[in-house]
Amino acid sequence: MRKVMILGSGPNVLGQGAEFDKAGAAALAALRKDGYETIVVNSNPATVMTDTNSADRVYIEPVTTQFVSQIIRQEVPDAILATFGGQTALNLVMELANSGILSELHVKMLGTPLNAVEQTEDRELFYNLLRNLNEPVPQAMVVDDLAKGQEFVQRVGWPVIVRPAYTLGGTGGGIARSEKALTTYVQNGITLSPTGQVAIERSIDGYREIEIEIVRDHHDNTAIVATLENIDPVGIHTGDSMVVTPVQTLSHTELTRLREAAIKIVRALEIEGVCDVQFAVDPATDNYYVIEVNPRMGRSGVLAETATGYPLAKVAALLGVGKDLADISLSSDGRTTAASEPVLDYLVTKLPRWSYQSIGADRRIGTQMKASGEVVAFGRSIEESVLKAMRSLTWDTDDEYWQRVNKFDDDTLVSHLIHPEDDRLFAILVALARGYDVPEVAELTKIHPYFLARMAHIVHIGQQLTDHAGDVAILNEAKRFGFSDMRISELWALPVEQVRALRLEAKIVPHFSNSGTNDGNSFGAPKLFFSTYGEAGQQTPLAKDSVLVIGSGAYQTRQGQEFDYGTVHALNAIHRSGYAAILINCNVQAVSTARNHSDRLYLEPLTVEDILNVVDAEKPVGVLTQFGGSTAARFTKALNQAGVKLFDSPLTELPKQSLKEPLKLRGRIPTDQAHVAEQAEQIGYPLWVSPSKRHFAANAHFITSAEMLRTFLQGAHLADDQVIRLQPYTDGATYEVFSLKDDTDVYIAGIVEHLWAQNANVDHMLSVYPTNHLTPKQRTALAQVAQQDVATMNARGIVQVTYIWQRDHFRRLYAQTIGGGSLPFFAKASGIPLVEYATRIFLGNTLAELNLPQFSETKRRVVYVWAPVYSVAKLTQQANDLNVTTYHTGEVMGKAQTFAKAYYKTLAAGNNPFPSYGNILFTVADSDKAQALALARRFRAIGYQIQATPHTANYFQDHGLPIQRIQNKHAVALSMTPQNNLEGPQAIVYTNDPMDASSIRDTVLIRNVTLVQGIPLLTELDTLGALLNVLESQRFATVPQGSEE
């Protein structure tokens, strides 16, 4: 066995994120080092594991049975590893096994046997396994229709937990406390489950939730890597829960029982690799239930690896190919092996990051995971690690959460304690500050009193600070328990600089501790450091010159994995340039926080205070912020003021334009709202508005009327000196030019074309490379315009400038220097390592020294298409809410010889494939009806049924096309439900008039429902025509005699 295929997880969605790229990249490195030939299949271009040097062969293709089967026949691997691709890979490998291709080609399943996948994903088999092992499970029943579920509830009573089989992050399930909720969860769960099954369990919400991360080899040896305790109780998905490791509230005897149960389970499943076992512990009796077994690497595994230093992904990969735990060396002297169990003398806390502020979604948290990212913080106490984690999310200062929760009356506050939302931690702290005692809050939240006592201590220290402003002894105590300078400055009503000066004068400085385990052995990776106060010792800087890179922090909508992609490549480029690379970041999911990418890793909050602490300790020759997104960019001013050398700085001003229409408007808000409205009227509606000084694309909102603009300005919490930027709406394409700039010269690397959906409630629809609609003459002209523009900008490194073609010339919309967005897609499609070049420019090289080729976009043999992927099904919102903007959580890439085939691949890769049969609904603007009719005829000729709304239906019928009439667009939305998935449309073709307010509202209605239900929505008829070419090439048209036209 020499050739191994690793399946990736595809696009990031809520419940399955970048942690699988981190694990997969580590597994690939371990297998290649051990001499194995590796093959990767993943559709996500923002991943490091899809870099061409990550494996022997990399396929950026849909992670689906159709495409992976073709690759398997092409490559004929000896074995396949699915344990690093999340739920996507596990479901896929089951489909491959059932198709017979694995047995036909003698492809072995490594790590997790097929029967183990079945027994952990099929709830009936899962319960039977545990009962046979005499392990307790909640009272439960597996059903495939609502009536059986109702019968079960009548026997056990309310509430119950509904768990769909083979779904990701609890999708489709929830806690049902009423007949209505049961009906919704069961019907949705049956529809979303690949097997059409849901398990209904007697609810045990409120129990303590404990996780054990365990490894096993093929000789039945095991090792417990980590124990994790969810601070939140059962009933809140572990991905949305506050988590601490190691376990805090169990006695040695209680924990030993759970350890023994985990070992028994992993042995029964015959897993050779990693497994996560989740338990629910009754707080009253200490009895436990087994509630979940995940036979793969996941979020908890990545957290365990980061917290302990134990290279779990590497070990799991080597166990999968047959190595023993005792044979895998984890230290340079060979004395520590994978059989060693980590022992920690510190605490690690994980907090989730939600992005509700951006997308206006349902903020309640429960059994369906909704977090877009997470942060971790190390400390010597719960107080310290929790407060550091809070400031990693900018939660320790007087931010939106504090302001919102402090306004709650007592009834509202109690409601938030009982029915948790994303403000849960703040509600707890505010309740404790208002005088609620720990037993009261424990009863309301079901959180263990131990953790609430620690939070009460945080409140007590805060009160002490308020009562003793300027007291150095209280300051010292507050720092020891994790209070930031900023929070102390707010409580003392002093400038933060004055607090910092007082602290330094009193010699209250942090000590940086190594995250070593097993009496100082950190498993061969003594690189991770965290700050703590009250300990002696001083960090010794590295011997050679170093560069500090600031990461992008927790993933969120509009700042995701694509920024960490740049960070990883910048760190590698720093090494190749002869410098030591130091990283500060707080994102446990980020590939950059794997210990092999930096010489020293600081898992610390991303704040000015914490960055300056690292600068003081390491004394780097400079700091790099370009690849940390808007998170890192916001620190540049303060770092400059502190005398820190920055290799780069964000673009603060665009050069003046020779255009009549204003693209940027300064105004004091709200005093100049009338002026903003006046300028908006001159530009015309619809338009984009952004309160960003630098990054228009990251903060733009779509405005369709003066009333909507007024609502936005009143609710946007803008500063008095806020910069407002207005931009006309464009129905069509924009063009993003990627360039490099040193101190004097500009290099144009390439152009990506962005195709936009017809309404801007969703971020852009498709990206294409090379450009699809520009002539060679236009491409050359655009490159020249961009060269001139960038030359006048006060920027270095990568500069991305976006243009539209308007009135026979290119008009600049915005520019950015934060190195994210389409950068990974462009790098994969063009093969140009822009991050490598930019980093070398920052470190002293000139463009002339890099000897880059002249800009040229000649006819390429391959077309690359990028598409967004959404997670709206878990973030339910009223479908007619115009103020909700839907942002993607992940991305996919398709490549083929034609645009049509590449686009078809993105649909397949995005888990939203175009149906091979069924109903296609047309509802189009008058100007598009003739073109839509021609397309509808072609669809009907290859077997599709055509539906249409009244005006479109009249046109189609007048021209002789048989159709099914849908009365109105609201009827369309009602028909797109799991209960009507056969009668309703399987795809929708929709165009509108962007100047018609009712048309815009209908667009939002249809788009939101299609996203929730996972139905393809096509808003570009030319794109639909291209897709239809592919569908026609896959089948034969059948038409009756005499209808050949």
- Domain CATH code at residue 843: 3.30.470.20
Residue 487 shares a structural domain with residue 469: yes
Beta strands in 807-905 (DSSP E): 809-816, 863-869, 890-896
Q: Above pLDDT 70, what percent of the chain?
A: 85
In a domain, residue 322? The reply is no
In a domain, residue 683? The reply is yes
| In the predicted structure, residue 232 carries a pLDDT above the cut 80 | yes
Number of domains in the chain: 6
Q: Which residues of 105-121 are buried (b: 16+ CB within 10 A; e: fewer)?
A: eebebbbbebebbbbbb
Q: Give the CATH number of the domain where residue 924 resides.
A: 3.40.50.1380
Spatial separation of the C-alpha atoms in residues 226 and 312, rounded to whole Å? 10
Task: Supply the pLDDT for residue 974.
Answer: 46
Residue 691 shares a structural domain with residue 618: no
Average pLDDT over residues 92-103: 95
pLDDT tens digits, 960-1005:
999 998 876 554 544 444 444 446 778 888 776 655 555 555 666 6
Owning domain of residue 750:
733-858
In a domain, residue 262? The reply is no
Residue 590 shares a structural domain with residue 510: yes
Question: What φ, ψ does residue 536 adopt, rounded to 5°?
Answer: -85, 160
pLDDT tens digits, 342-378:
999 999 999 998 876 544 467 888 888 888 889 999 9
In a domain, residue 281? The reply is no
Q: Give the CATH number of the domain where residue 464 resides.
A: 3.40.50.20
729 or 900, higher pLDDT = 900
Q: Band of the pLDDT at 1012, cuts 50, 70, 90?
A: low
Residue 633 shares a structural domain with residue 558: yes
In a domain, residue 326? The reply is no
Task: Supply the pLDDT for residue 452.
Answer: 98
| In the predicted structure, residue 689 carries a pLDDT above the cut 90 | no
Residue 155 shares a structural domain with residue 64: no
| In the predicted structure, residue 13 carries a pLDDT above the cut 90 | no
pLDDT tens digits, 842-901:
999 999 999 898 776 665 679 999 988 877 555 554 433 434 455 677 899 999 999 999
Residue 456 shares a structural domain with residue 582: yes
| In the predicted structure, residue 490 carries a pLDDT above the cut 50 | yes
Spatial separation of the C-alpha atoms in residues 104 and 19, rounded to whole Å? 32
The pTM score is: 0.88
Domain end among 54, 81, 114: 114
Beta strands in 178-237 (DSSP E): 198-202, 208-216, 222-230
Sorted by sequence, the CB contacts under 8 Å of residue 1031 that are 6+ apart come out as 904, 914, 942
Residue 526 shares a structural domain with residue 626: yes
Residue 767 shares a structural domain with residue 692: no
Q: Where are the alpha helices (DSSP H) in 309-409?
A: 312-320, 356-359, 382-392, 400-406
Average pLDDT over residues 898-908: 91
Domain end among 148, 171, 203: 203
Spatial separation of the C-alpha atoms in residues 136 and 139, rounded to whole Å? 9
Residue 496 shares a structural domain with residue 384: yes
In a domain, residue 884? The reply is no
In a domain, residue 294? The reply is no
Q: Band of the pLDDT at 1041, cuts 50, 70, 90?
A: low
| In the predicted structure, residue 511 carries a pLDDT above the cut 70 | yes
Average pLDDT over residues 313-323: 96
Task: Supply the pLDDT for residue 241.
Answer: 94
Sorted by sequence, the CB contacts under 8 Å of residue 488 that are 6+ apart come out as 465, 475, 478, 499
The helix (H) or strand (E) run that includes residue 1029 is helix 1021-1033
**What CA–CA distances, in Å, run from 563 to 180, 592, 626?**
42, 10, 9
Residue 588 shares a structural domain with residue 620: yes
In a domain, residue 739? The reply is yes
CB 754 within 8 A of CB 734: yes
pLDDT tens digits, 821-847:
889 999 999 999 999 999 999 999 999
Task: Supply the pLDDT for residue 886.
Answer: 54
| In the predicted structure, residue 121 carries a pLDDT above the cut 90 | no
Range in 39-43, 560-564, 652-656 with the lowest mean pLDDT:
652-656
430 or 716, higher pLDDT = 430
Domain end among 687, 702, 728: 728
Residue 808 shares a structural domain with residue 746: yes
* Lookup: tokens for 35: 């001499």
CB 445 within 8 A of CB 415: no
pLDDT tens digits, 129-147:
999 999 999 999 999 889 9
Average pLDDT over residues 328-336: 82
Residue 741 shares a structural domain with residue 720: no
Task: Supply the pLDDT for residue 1021.
Answer: 87
